[in-house]
């Protein structure tokens, strides 16, 4: 949806849901929707580094400096407040770009940011994260601010592929290089106007600023006092953090008649951004360890793209029995926030939930096909992942990872052939 008439923001538009369809993302990426995980896997294996172009870039057609007398983020950025209990207006699709103070290596990651005053944003960096959070912590140790650019409204390849996480993209792996691989053309960066950092040249908006050292005690709902941040991808309102970092804004640049792009947490859009890189990470790990044994992977929308993966497994010889469970263990290693893995055979359509649940109803017995791995660090936004939910959970964010093995035991394969239609060769069905 594109909103062209935004109160208080003449000349600007707001777009939401651009990536909220897997088929549309596949069109934008130039493949079929079933192929996205494999395509993106190959992009991560053949990175094309970004390049710096001369300014001023399209994102710098209009420049507002924080020293200007009327500078006010609320007036400059049409950031939506989506629910009555949100902490404030949120920037949810900002490509945060920063450089490690020691290594000089850059990273792009999406973080939630709330407008707190005319030149201040709160930015939530998961403690212990291996991306920009690690850079802010290191800059704090050195007593320095961390320059950061926030590019909004960019190529969808950048938006989806910036969501890769370790171990596929460890600290120092610039995810812009994966977007470059997809386009077979480097992402173009431009020097910022007010800080020593780069921004994405073709963005609609860029916010330039610094994360202040040791500032990670900003109360996210200091203006609203609701106790909540914003709706998060698991479908609940996320709690307001008391440990946000302070992003002091130095400038806002944008195109003429800019489009503010946004998304909300509980959405198919989040599923695609979080899920497609997750599929690629899982396929990368499994393809190395068990080549040919997993045909495809889907980060199911019911898990927001993070909590649930469906693996389509291939068993061709008797020693393949059990490898499907090994594949599930590899999936957990490939993506630490994964909670549930559902294993199905290759005759099941993993993108069709009815087909997947059919497998669970006819190829699964709860007492022998559920494997539980309790007490593993998972993801804090799952509200059941909490000590008061179960004594088996020692801390918020610890979960019981579970495998649901809905594959047919190899030695019983003959009994589980789908009923044929008349166009099937009976000899082949009976003896093939």
Give least dist CB 152 to Mn ion, A: 16
Q: Contact, 253 vs 206, CB < 8 A?
A: yes
Shortest distance (Å) from residue 189 CB to Mn ion: 15
CB of 164 to Mn ion, least distance (A): 7
Q: Give the nearest distance from C-beta 388 to Mn ion in angstroms.
A: 33
Residue 111 or 323: the one with the smaller Cβ distance to Mn ion is 111
Hey, what are 252's tokens? 């806002």
Site for Mn ion in 170-229 (CB under 5 A): none
Q: Give, as one character, the DSSP assignment of residue 244.
A: B
Residue from 109, 177, 241, 281 in contact with Mn ion (CB under 5 A) = 109
- Whichever of 176 and 230 has its CB closer to Mn ion, that residue is 176
Long-range contacts of 383-390 (CB under 8 A, 24+ apart): 383/234, 383/236
Decide whether 64 or 131 has the Cβ nearer to Mn ion.
131
CA nearest to 417, candidates 348, 317, 351, 369: 348
107 or 279, CB closer to Mn ion?
107
Q: How far apart are CA 368 and CA 203, in angstroms?
A: 52
Please state the closest distance from residue 279 (CB atom) to Mn ion, in A.
17
Closer Cβ to Mn ion, 174 or 241, answer by number: 174
Binding window for Mn ion (CB under 5 A); candidates: 125-133, 322-330, 381-389, 417-425: 125-133
Rounded Cα–Cα distance for residues 201 and 310 (Å) = 37
Checking DSSP bridges between strand 62-65 and strand 245-254, what pairing results, if any? antiparallel
Q: Which of 107, 155, 197, 221 binds Mn ion (CB under 5 A)?
A: 107
Residue 80 vs 133, nearer CB to Mn ion: 133
Stretch that binds Mn ion, among 46-54, 109-117, 121-129, 260-268 (CB under 5 A): 109-117
**Which segment (1-9, 107-115, 207-215, 217-225) binds Mn ion by CB under 5 A?**
107-115
Q: Please, which residues have CB within 8 angstroms of residue 89's CB and are 6 or more apart in sequence?
A: 74, 77, 79, 80, 81, 114, 115
Tabulate helix, strand, coil % of the chain (nearest 5).
30, 25, 45
From the list 102-110, 284-292, 333-341, 409-417, the region that binds Mn ion by CB under 5 A is 102-110
The catalytically annotated residue of 165, 175, 220, 232 is 232
Minimum CB–partner distance for residue 126 and Mn ion (Å): 11
Length reported for the chain: 432
Beta bridge partners of 92: none
Residues within window 127-166 making contact with Mn ion, judged by CB under 5 A? 131
| Residue where the block lists tokens 């263990």 | 329
| Residue 320 three-state SS | helix
Q: Which is nearer to Mn ion, 107 or 232 (CB)?
A: 107
Query: Does 61 qualify as catalytic in the annotation?
Result: no
| Torsion-angle region of 147 (φ positive above 0: left; ψ -120 to 50: alpha; else: beta) | beta
* Residue 100 binds to Mn ion (criterion: CB under 5 A): no
Whole-angstrom CA distances from 65 to 48, 118, 426 are 33, 12, 75
The distance of closest approach from Cβ of residue 236 to Mn ion in the complex, given in angstroms and rounded to an integer, is 25
Which residue lies nearest Mn ion, judged by its C-beta? 109
Q: Site for Mn ion (CB under 5 A): how many residues?
A: 3
Mind telling me the catalytic residues?
232
Binding site for Mn ion (CB under 5 A): 107, 109, 131
């Amino acid at each position: 949806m594109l909103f062209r008439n935004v109160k208080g923001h003449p000349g600007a538009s707001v777009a939401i849901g651009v990536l909220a369809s897997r088929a549309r993302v596949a069109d934008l990426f130039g493949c079929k929707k079933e192929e996205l995980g494999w395509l993106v896997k190959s992009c991560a294996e053949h990175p094309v580094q970004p390049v710096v172009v001369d300014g001023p870039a399209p994102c710098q057609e209009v420049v507002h400096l924080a020293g200007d007398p009327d500078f006010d983020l609320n007036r400059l950025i049409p950031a939506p407040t989506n629910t009555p209990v949100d902490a404030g207006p949120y920037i949810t699709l900002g490509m945060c770009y920063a450089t490690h103070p020691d290594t000089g290596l850059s990273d792009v990651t999406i973080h939630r940011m709330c407008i707190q005053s005319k030149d201040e944003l709160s930015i939530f960096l998961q403690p212990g994260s291996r991306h920009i959070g690690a850079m802010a912590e290191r800059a704090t140790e050195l007593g320095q601010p961390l320059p950061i650019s926030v590019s909004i409204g960019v190529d969808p390849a950048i938006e989806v592929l910036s969501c890769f996480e370790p171990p596929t993209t460890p600290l120092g792996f610039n995810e812009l290089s994966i977007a470059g691989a997809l386009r077979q053309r480097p992402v173009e960066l431009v020097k910022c106007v007010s800080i020593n950092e780069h921004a994405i040249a073709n963005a609609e908006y860029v916010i330039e600023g610094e994360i202040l050292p040791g500032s990670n005690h900003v109360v996210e709902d200091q203006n609203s006092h609701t106790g909540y941040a914003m709706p998060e991808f698991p479908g609940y309102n996320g709690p307001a953090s008391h440990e946000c970092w302070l992003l002091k804004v130095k400038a806002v640049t944008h195109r003429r008649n800019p489009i503010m792009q946004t998304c909300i947490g509980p959405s198919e859009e989040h599923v695609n951004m979080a899920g497609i890189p997750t599929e690629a990470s899982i396929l990368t790990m499994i393809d190395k360890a068990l080549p040919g044994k997993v045909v495809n992977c889907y980060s199911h929308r019911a898990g927001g793209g993070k909590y649930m993966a469906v693996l389509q497994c291939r068993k061709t010889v008797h020693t393949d029995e059990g490898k499907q469970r090994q594949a599930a263990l590899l999936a957990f290693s490939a993506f630490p926030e994964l909670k549930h893995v559902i294993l199905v055979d290759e005759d099941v359509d993993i993108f069709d939930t009815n087909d997947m649940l059919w497998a669970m109803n006819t190829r699964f017995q709860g007492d022998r096909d559920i494997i539980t791995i309790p007490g593993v660090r998972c993801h804090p936004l799952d509200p059941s992942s909490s000590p008061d939910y179960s004594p088996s959970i020692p801390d918020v964010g610890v979960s019981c990872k579970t495998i649901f093995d809905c594959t047919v035991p190899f030695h019983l394969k003959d009994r589980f052939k789908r009923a044929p239609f008349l166009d099937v060769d009976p000899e082949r069905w009976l003896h093939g």
